[in-house]
Structure 1
Amino acid sequence: MDSDGYCENCGHAQPRERDHMERESGPVAAVSDRGLRHHRNEDSFALGHTALPDGGPATLAVVCDGVSSATRPDEASAAAARAAGDVLLAALPRGTHPQAAMH
């Protein structure tokens, strides 16, 4: 593959890293693939684990659908998933209800 992302043998564009994303985190996993209608994967997700105030475990999964009418839906969904995940991972151990944490 050359520096522009094209195969040096056949000349076809090679898949980008975001075209197929897989993450495994303890007992949960997430997968996102580029769809058939767009030239890039516009969706994103975040996974995490934390402890609740009572010591019980909490598993976090945030899924963000890219808005294809936006200028950079892939970047927007990644930023939103990351921000929501960070807020929830900080709020849950303090006993904040997830809905309250997102307002």
Structure 2
Amino acid sequence: MAIMRCIRLEPNRSMTTDEFKAWLRTYDDNHDGRISQEEFKEALHGLRMWFGSWKAKKAMESADSNHSGTIDSATEMEKLVKFAQKHLHMRIYES
């Protein structure tokens, strides 16, 4: 898994939703299948995005509909994808 983190993704790089999810899984440090705000913040820092902590907080507020503190369902993941497309300017498309 550490090797996957070495792959640099640029914020404007086009990727499929499956690639986006696979990229996020590389930041799932506790391997629970869920993405926490801290893990998403680390992913954004990996992209060298400015204000990664703030953007991760906003993403969680937008996508975490059950307020569990993690992205843990397909519906929440879709919301996270939409947030990334709109607010992080990532080009994510259906495969």
Give the TM-score of the pair, scaled to structure 1.
0.29
- Structure in which a larger fraction of residues adopt strand: 1
